[in-house]
Amino acid sequence: MSEKNKDFESSLKKLEEIVTELEGGDLPLEKSIKAFEDGIKLTRHCQKLLTEAELKIEKLVDSDDGSFDLESFDEN
């Protein structure tokens, strides 16, 4: 399955596995380089999914008249 078709959770799990392998220091150089490249791709994919999710987040706010309105999420 390509990174484009993976959901966030499975991509993050695979990324964690890659980090563990690289931190172990037992991989040969070529496999380490390939794992690093795969990790970068997964990191970018996860970041893209997080950015897309952030754009979808809205918050419910209490209006002065007692009703509720939806506003875009703002970190600040």
In this predicted structure, what is the pLDDT of residue 57? 73
In this predicted structure, what is the pLDDT of residue 5? 61
Q: Give the confidence band of 67 by pLDDT, cuts at 50, 70, 90.
A: confident
Tens digit of each residue's pLDDT (9 = 90 or more) over 8-63: 999 999 999 999 999 999 999 999 999 999 999 999 999 999 998 887 776 666 66
In this predicted structure, what is the pLDDT of residue 52? 87
What DSSP line would sit under 13-68, residue for residue? HHHHHHHHHHHHT-S-HHHHHHHHHHHHHHHHHHHHHHHHHHHH-EEEEE-TTS-E
- CATH assignment at residue 31: 1.10.287
Report yes or no: 43 and 4 within 8 Å, Cβ to Cβ: no
State the pTM of this model.
0.69
Total domains present in the chain: 1
In this predicted structure, what is the pLDDT of residue 2? 53
Domain hosting 15: range is 3-72
